[in-house]
Structure 1
């Protein structure tokens, strides 16, 4: 399965924040939108970095009570894991495993167009497993269509 097919099944909105935003506001955005990852940018499609829940936890561990008021630019991840819309899901899974990340930013040309999360990977793999199981049941029952 191509990444572009995964993006079609998701909300097309890529949520971003500015580098000057305080971390606490990003945490509120995470809570209000039930997400755990944002792109840091000043304009649509641009990616200066990313910020995840894990990045926020690491900031609190390192900076303590100062972390919530720190600017996103001071704690964001600048080494962003990316893939293209034409990459296949196993390639994205390998990136997640190798980079130990739960989110991979999807790029089309030089523009950020979406994100694939570990939840997306699990959903698509589960759907695939259920389809295979159904096909096997139909084959065993003799009701499979050739």
Structure 2
């Protein structure tokens, strides 16, 4: 399955914040939008880095009570995990595994067009597994075959 197919089945919205916002502002956005990942940029379409729930946890572990008021630019991840719309799902899974990340920014050339999360991966792999199970059941039972 191509990543563009996954993006087609979900909201393509990419949430972004500025490097000057505080971590607690971003955490409120995470809560309000039920997300766990944002792109960091000074203007729409710019990507200076990313920030995830995990990055926020690491910041708290490192900086303690100062972390919630720190600026996003101080704690963001500058090495962004990306893939192409034409990449296949197993390739993106390998990126997530190797980079130990739960989110991959999807690019179409130089433009960010979406985000694939570990939840998206699990959802689509589960759908594939259930379809394979139905197909095998039908084959064994002789259903839907002539």
Normalising by structure 1, we get a TM-score of: 0.96
In structure 1, stretches of 5+ residues that fail to align are none
Structure 1, residues 99-146: CA drift from partner, whole Å, max 9, x if none?
Answer: 111111111111111111110000000000000011111111111346
Give the corresponding residue for 2:143: 143
Give the corresponding residue for 2:73: 73
CA contact (8 A) 1:2 1:87 kept: yes
Distance 1:65 1:94 in 2: 35
Normalising by structure 2, we get a TM-score of: 0.96
Count the aligned residue pairs. Answer: 146
Deviating beyond 4 angstroms after TM superposition, the runs of 4 or more aligned structure 1 residues are none
In structure 2, stretches of 5+ residues that fail to align are none
Give the corresponding residue for 1:91: 91
Instruction: Please report the RMSD computed on the Cα atoms of aligned residues, expressed in angstroms.
Output: 1.0
Give the corresponding residue for 1:55: 55
Q: Does 1:64 align with 2:75?
A: no
Structure 1, residues 68-97: CA drift from partner, whole Å, max 9, x if none?
Answer: 111100000000111010100000000001
C-alpha spacing 1:145/1:15, structure 2 compared with 1 (3 Å):
farther
